[in-house]
Amino acid sequence: AQKITQTQPGMFVQEKEAVTLDCTYDTSDPSYGLFWYKQPSSGEMIFLIYQGSYDQQNATEGRYSLNFQKARKSANLVISASQLGDSAMYFCAFSIYNQGGKLIFGQGTELSVKP
């Protein structure tokens, strides 16, 4: 069965420091994509970063980077130089390429950035 797990229900980080949000997944399919989304209290899902299963290098998007360890089936999100506006729920998700692209989401991690 395909599954994705976020083991940190809540995290705190000091403003301007880096933080890592954990994500592990389980699939036997070799072709998949990994995603991170941010959901502020307003409710919209904001795309942050994508990593394809065949990508050799870790993805980066500005202050976001994805630490992709394929053998361990982990896809941790690293946010550098945290800002107060980073406080939100963060969801890890993956989709199998030949299964229509539907996203399977983790339970989420609530990040709080302290001033």
Partner 1 sequence: DTGVSQDPRHKITKRGQNVTFRCDPISEHNRLYWYRQTLGQGPEFLTYFQNEAQLEKSRLLSDRFSAERPKGSFSTLEIQRTEQGDSAMYLCASSGAGLGRGLNEQFFGPGTRLTVL
Q: Which residues bind partner 1 (CB under 8 A)?
A: 33, 35, 37, 42-47, 50, 52, 91, 93, 95, 97, 99-108
CA dist., res. 23 & res. 78, Å (int): 11
Instruction: Tally Cβ neighbours within 10 Å of residue 81.
Output: 12
Contacts of 61 (CB under 8 A, 6+ apart): 48, 49
Task: Answer for the pair 95, 106: CB distance below 8 angstroms, yes or no.
Answer: no
Nearest to partner 1 of 18, 40 (CB atom):
40
Within its chain, how far is the Cα of 24 from the centroid?
9
What is the closest distance, in whole angstroms, from the C-beta atom of residue 64 to partner 1 in the complex? 14
Nearest to partner 1 of 44, 85 (CB atom):
44
Place of tokens 């990593």: 51
What is the closest distance, in whole angstroms, from the C-beta atom of residue 109 to partner 1 in the complex? 10
What is the closest distance, in whole angstroms, from the C-beta atom of residue 56 to partner 1 in the complex? 13
Nearest to partner 1 of 100, 115 (CB atom):
100
Nearest to partner 1 of 30, 52 (CB atom):
52
Phi, psi of 28 (to 5 degrees): -100, -5
What is the closest distance, in whole angstroms, from the C-beta atom of residue 11 to partner 1 in the complex? 16
